[in-house]
């Protein structure tokens, strides 16, 4: 049953601590809740949850702990939160899945209502979480990531405490705490090298993660070798003949596997691990590879569409598009167009999905092998929305050029997986527009740009 259809409830204690200098302006100010600017400009906040008793369907959550770390660049109501989730390492696979569904918002409830404010999920992993309760003090320790403790704020009555009613989305009655200590270490997006460590520690990546990762990376390496062998001696310049439809489809699919598999690896591992945890043995048989097939199918359709455009233009015999006439200007314009696209909202949305796919997997899960194909198609569509401009760059500079192919693959990898990747579109936009002007104005001076007709290319087989 999908997470959104499962009945759940949790009851227990909760604490939070942020970097504001005064009592939380998100809740206690003259403005509407969550609209005040944090005193430090950005809000860095840790949330700790101890579940006294709870359930997710028939899965008991009693006694487990969860921690969230979030950063907002301005008022919380403006969104663009960055969130990292830590699940108690005492939870088994079913409990871990349930806690992730609840605290990522996939199962609805309060976190579900806050989900539109989340711009990026930096990751979710298992951790040693210790909850301490001593008198008026509450404390939580999360591995070496966070230590946080709060004390109840004393009221005018020496034996009393300050309470706020209907002031917080997590609790109808909130005991106003006084921060005793809070330390946060910066959390960054998951990188492929971190996935090996997570495969050992986190329940949702433990099963078959190393095997699946090895298969994907081996496939990427093999397809790179095949691509190098098939492209050796070919015309690497703009406007190269794409050969027959069948030949091009085979080469393009091989190229896409080589270029996209490294950056798609975290998503493939995430899908594989969750499929192992929540699907029956029969339903999950081959589902990961069907997911990959659906993902590649989207890129194959993109390549076939590009092939159709190429054949249509070539069939018109427009001599003015020859390289020595206006071809360089057309290539430069396409490169600049790729740069402009980097600044569009659609690019931002799709890149955000590719960098933080956890919510998509948990809230949009489709069961069975057909569901795996559908999820692969959906994720591939987001990936296409993120990277079609970069592929346009490849067509404009030479789709059969190993140099430009490797460069575009590196740019895609950097955008999707490096910690600063979400800021790269601004850099890429500037560079692509500049490169487009350079290609249009002086194509002969652009390094590694093969001028059409500069050498006799190897003939492609029809």
Q: Where are the domains of the chain?
A: 3-184, 192-445
Using pLDDT thresholds of 50, 70 and 90, give the confidence band for residue 39: confident
Q: Give the pTM.
A: 0.58
Residue 31 CB partners (closer than 8 Å, separation 6+): none
Position 343 scores a pLDDT of 95
Q: Using the predicted structure, report yes or no on whether residue 122 has a pLDDT greater than 70.
A: yes
Residue 30 has a pLDDT of: 58
More confident position, 134 or 300: 300
- Whole-number pLDDT of residue 256: 94
Q: What percent of the chain has pLDDT over 70?
A: 75
Q: At residue 133, does pLDDT exceed 90?
A: no
So what's the pLDDT on residue 163? 46
pLDDT computed for residue 188 by the predictor: 39
pLDDT at 183: 38
192: confidence class by pLDDT, cuts 50, 70, 90: very low
Residue 118 or residue 330, greater confidence: 330
Q: Comparing 41-45, 126-130, 339-343, which segment has the lowest mean pLDDT? A: 41-45
pLDDT (tens digit per residue) in 72-84? 888 877 777 888 8
pLDDT score for 193: 42
Angle (CA) 4 171 186, round 5°: 80
Condensed to tens digits (0 to 9), the pLDDT of residues 374-428 reads: 999 999 999 999 999 999 998 888 888 889 999 999 999 999 988 888 899 999 9
Residue 5: per-residue pLDDT: 58
Average pLDDT, integer, range 204-209: 52
More confident residue, 118 or 427: 427
């Amino acid at each position: 049953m999908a997470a959104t259809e499962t009945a759940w409830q949790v009851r227990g204690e909760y604490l939070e601590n942020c970097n504001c200098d005064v009592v939380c302006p998100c809740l206690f100010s003259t403005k509407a809740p969550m609209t005040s600017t944090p005193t430090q400009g950005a809000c860095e906040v840790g949330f700790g949850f101890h579940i006294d008793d709870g359930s997710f369907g028939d899965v008991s959550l009693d006694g487990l702990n969860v921690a969230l770390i979030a950063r907002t660049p301005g008022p919380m109501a403006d969104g663009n939160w960055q969130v990292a989730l830590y699940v108690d390492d005492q939870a088994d696979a079913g409990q871990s899945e349930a806690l992730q569904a609840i605290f990522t918002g996939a199962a609805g409830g309060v976190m579900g209502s806050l989900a539109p404010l989340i711009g990026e999920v930096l990751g979710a992993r298992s951790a040693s979480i210790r909850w301490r309760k001593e008198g008026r003090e509450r404390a939580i320790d999360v591995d070496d990531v966070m230590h946080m403790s709060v004390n109840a704020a004393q009221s005018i009555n020496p034996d009393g405490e300050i309470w706020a009613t209907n002031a917080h989305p997590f609790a109808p009655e909130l005991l106003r705490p006084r921060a005793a200590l809070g330390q946060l270490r910066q959390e960054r997006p998951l990188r492929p090298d971190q996935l090996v460590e997570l495969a050992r520690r986190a329940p949702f990546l433990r099963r078959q993660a190393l095997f699946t990762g090895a298969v994907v990376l081996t496939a990427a390496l093999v397809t790179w070798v095949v691509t190098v062998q098939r492209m050796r001696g070919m015309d690497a310049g703009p406007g190269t003949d794409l050969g027959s439809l069948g030949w091009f489809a085979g080469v393009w699919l091989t190229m896409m596997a080589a270029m996209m598999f490294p950056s798609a690896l975290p998503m493939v591992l995430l899908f594989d691990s969750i499929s192992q945890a929540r699907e029956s043995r029969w339903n999950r048989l081959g589902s990961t590879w069907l997911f990959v097939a659906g993902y590649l199918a989207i890129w194959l359709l993109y390549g076939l569409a590009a092939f159709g455009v190429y054949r249509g233009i070539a069939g018109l015999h427009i001599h003015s598009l020859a390289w020595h006439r206006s071809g360089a200007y057309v290539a430069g314009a396409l490169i600049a167009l790729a740069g402009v696209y980097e600044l569009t909202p659609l690019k931002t949305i799709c890149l955000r999905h590719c960098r933080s796919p956890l919510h998509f997997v948990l809230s949009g899960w489709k069961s069975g092998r057909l569901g795996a194909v559908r999820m692969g198609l959906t994720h591939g569509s987001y990936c296409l929305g993120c990277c079609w401009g970069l592929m346009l760059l490849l067509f404009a500079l030479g789709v059969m050029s190993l140099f430009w192919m490797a460069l575009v693959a590196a740019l895609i990898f950097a955008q999707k997986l490096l910690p600063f990747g979400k800021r790269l579109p601004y850099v890429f936009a500037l560079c692509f527009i500049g490169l487009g002007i350079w290609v249009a104005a002086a194509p002969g001076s652009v390094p590694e740009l093969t001028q059409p007709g500069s050498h006799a290319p190897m003939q492609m087989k029809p």
